[in-house]
Chain A
């Protein structure tokens, strides 16, 4: 019944927003975990430069990020041509492109949270697990990751939130195509441009407030569970 309250175009925008934000948060996590662990544990020459490069999308205007993506991965770029020739895959102006734009923009946020979480893990516990005969991957899965889990979850939430609100890089790299890349922010923008569509814009604005709240509360619950587990099981 609540579904009847929305028009098909609004439902489509909500579906796309959720899809893009969830996919972005999910796909960003593995590289963020790998790079975060690497940055937290290793010291090497040029570390701050690498750190800065990885966090560039946080500081760059999103439209600039989108334009750079278009130049690097667009249909005319070498990479874009290879992708299309080998896999028949196009990123620019597709849903996949919207996910990629969201990933690039949200990666620094997820990475920072994950990195700090790994830095906070007590390394003596890892050493203890090692002396008890656990292999390195086992140490990571049963000691490091559980201890860092609240921070990792927090990073996921940040990435999800940033992806949900992504506008500039998306509209530049993925366009504003209804049913493919028109997420809630783009739909609200489009509606604000047309006279008499303020009502629809308001509906979608309200929907994004609800989605954001659900995500925040949900992650807080997950966070508490992770902490309880740490306190109880440790």
Chain B
């Protein structure tokens, strides 16, 4: 019994102590792309995926990533303001676009989206969207809906997800007839189809930021420059992300 206890204690304490793997806190929408990108980098990784807001909160409560990737400027600013990342390490990483998706067997067909579209009457039931309270994709989505004047009629029909990937899953399962996710999320799923893409001017620019966690190792800095390099950018692009303007 005592041996067992000691063994358990050892197992738990080594898990908490320093180890060579790079810890990356990344926005949920990065899940597949980041795994693909990391496959080309010689290091072990520990990924913690969630909505950018959730991750920023975790860092505030003592979570210590080597690299933090946020899907929105406000959460990147938030961790800077709270002094949770290395000063001056916040860099623009990659871009993305917002799309409307439906289950792949939905009768809805792709359409041209413009000011004349009557989105609220195009579908019944709920609109799956990342919780606009804290999920960047939800905030961008609300901005885009407001841009076209669809926010008021659709607000009551929101089905808010804990992260953009939750919003995607709800559409995959057919629980919502339509959802707003990133182009990269739609590209990652075979169970949804893209109905329309929001034009870039419908919402604030969607930019991912990466930053070095407070006290991150030199290895983390090396990894960050790899993320910002051309090789990683190509993989991100292949996964449905949009290159940043001016690069």
Could you tell me the distance between the alpha carbons of A32 and B170 in the complex, rounded to whole angstroms? 32
Could you tell me the distance between the alpha carbons of A178 and B170 in the complex, rounded to whole angstroms? 17
B57, CB-defined interface residue at 8 Å: yes
Q: Which candidate, B9-17, B155-163, B193-201, is the interface stretch facing chain A?
A: B155-163
Residues of A within 8 A of B160 (CB): 175-178
**Contact present for A75 and B173 (CB under 8 Å):** yes
Q: Which candidate, B88-96, B108-116, B126-134, is the interface stretch facing chain A?
A: B126-134
Could you tell me the distance between the alpha carbons of A175 and B160 in the complex, rounded to whole angstroms? 7
Residues of A within 8 A of B53 (CB): 193-194
Interface residues on A, range: 10 to 19
Given known A-B contacts A190-B133, A190-B134, A175 and B173 have beta carbons under 8 A apart: no
- Of residues 151 through 177 on chain A, the ones whose CB sits less than 8 Å from some CB of chain B are 171, 175-177
A-B contact pairs, 14 of them (CB 8 A): A70-B173, A74-B174, A75-B174, A75-B175, A76-B173, A93-B126, A93-B159, A175-B159, A177-B159, A177-B160, A178-B160, A190-B134, A193-B54, A195-B78
Per CB-CB distance, the 8 closest pairs between chain A and chain B, nearest first, are A193-B134, A76-B174, A193-B53, A194-B133, A194-B134, A75-B175, A190-B133, A75-B174
- Interface size in chain B (residues, C-beta < 8 A): 19
Binding site for A on B (CB under 8 A): 51, 53-54, 57, 78, 126, 131, 133-134, 158-162, 170, 173-176
Binding site for B on A (CB under 8 A): 70, 74-76, 92-93, 171, 175-178, 190-195
Could you tell me the distance between the alpha carbons of A93 and B175 in the complex, rounded to whole angstroms? 8
Least Cβ–Cβ distance between A93 and chain B, in angstroms: 6
- Chain A residue at minimal CB-CB distance from B81: A195
Residues of B within 8 A of A70 (CB): 173, 175
- Chain B residue at minimal CB-CB distance from A182: B160
**Contact present for A193 and B131 (CB under 8 Å):** yes
Residues of B within 8 A of A177 (CB): 158-160
Residues of A within 8 A of B162 (CB): 171, 176
Least Cβ–Cβ distance between B139 and chain A, in angstroms: 11
Given known A-B contacts A93-B159, A177-B159, A193 and B133 have beta carbons under 8 A apart: yes
Least Cβ–Cβ distance between A125 and chain B, in angstroms: 43
Residues of A within 8 A of B54 (CB): 193
- Chain B residue at minimal CB-CB distance from A76: B174
Could you tell me the distance between the alpha carbons of A193 and B166 in the complex, rounded to whole angstroms? 15
**Contact present for A193 and B159 (CB under 8 Å):** no
Q: CB within 8 A of A193: which of B57, B158, B173, B174?
A: B57
